[in-house]
Amino acid sequence: MSAPCIICGNTQNNTSFEVQEHQMGIGHLFHYQQCGACHSAQLLDPPADFAPYYQNDNYYSFHLELRLEQNIVRKIQTGHILFGKYPIIGHLLTLGYTVNEFIDWMKNAGAQYDDAILDVGTGNGSLLTKLYQAGFRDLTGIDPFIEKEVSYDNVRIERKSIFDVTRQYDLVMMHHSLEHMPDPKAALRKAFEIIKPGKTLLVRIPIMNNYGWRT
């Protein structure tokens, strides 16, 4: 079983391998292919319905509760690191403080507190919780597999895919969600449609040929 790479179209020197599902206990055997050119991996025989693989009782992305309380200390720390606010108390509160990686993401993206931010594949909304506690005020998460939608203050979690989105955003984020989409190129095209001109798309995906893959 082989197919052209869905990323670059290559058909030469592609390698096939099989992986059995264990996390959900379904035990399905999946067939994958690693591209001989760009080295990306793709699922060759995706199931018609992915819903059984994202059951809310078992899938780790849905385990946490959405906790939406403002955290004044976190807000001061984040404001000082990102924007240089609160120069004295911010400096004191960040002495010895280990910067959470999401703050680095926001800093590199140039995100502002009032920016409209979309988290694609948000799961339980745990990242949105952290952003809300840090002071960000316009937060939306989408996930087609959540059981119910959530709306609280300026945080919304909606049951939809990226292709259902019509609003434009200052920052669109895909944290380990792009690789779950059947057509990643179409998803990226859609992402650029809903990003405001000159604004940012942040994508994080697992990388093939890293230490975990080799071992």
Q: What pTM value is reported for the model? A: 0.82
* Whether 20 and 115 share a structural domain: no
Domain with 71, as residue range(s), is 62-211
Only one residue has tokens 């309380």, namely 69
* Whether 15 and 108 share a structural domain: no
CATH number for the domain including 92? 3.40.50.150
* Whether 20 and 75 share a structural domain: no
* Whether 78 and 174 share a structural domain: yes
- Structural domains counted in the chain: 2
Sign of the dihedral through C-alpha 153, 155, 160, 164? positive
Q: What is the DSSP string of the chain?
A: -----TTT---SS-EEEEEE--SSS--PEEEEEE-TTT--EEESS--S--GGGG-TTT-GGG-S-------HHHHHHHHHHHH--SHHHHHHHTTT----HHHHHHHHHT--TT--EEEET-TT-HHHHHHHHHT---EEEE-TT-SS-EEETTEEEES--GGG--S-EEEEEEES-GGGSS-HHHHHHHHHHSEEEEEEEEEE---TTSHHHH-
* Whether 81 and 185 share a structural domain: yes
**Per-residue pLDDT reduced to its tens digit, 43-80:** 888 877 777 766 655 444 544 455 566 678 888 888 88
Domain-embedded: residue 125: yes
Q: Which parts of the chain sit beneath pLDDT 50?
A: 58-60, 62-64
* Whether 72 and 135 share a structural domain: yes
* Whether 97 and 198 share a structural domain: yes
* Whether 66 and 29 share a structural domain: no
What is the radius of gyration, based on Cα positions, of the chain? 19
* Whether 113 and 170 share a structural domain: yes
pLDDT for position 53: 66
Long-range pairs, 17-24, Cβ under 8 A, ≥24:
21/53, 23/58, 23/59, 24/52, 24/53, 24/55, 24/58, 24/59
pLDDT for position 69: 66
Domain-embedded: residue 51: no
Domain-embedded: residue 53: no
* Whether 28 and 132 share a structural domain: no
Domain-embedded: residue 138: yes
Domain-embedded: residue 52: no
* Whether 174 and 90 share a structural domain: yes
* Whether 116 and 160 share a structural domain: yes
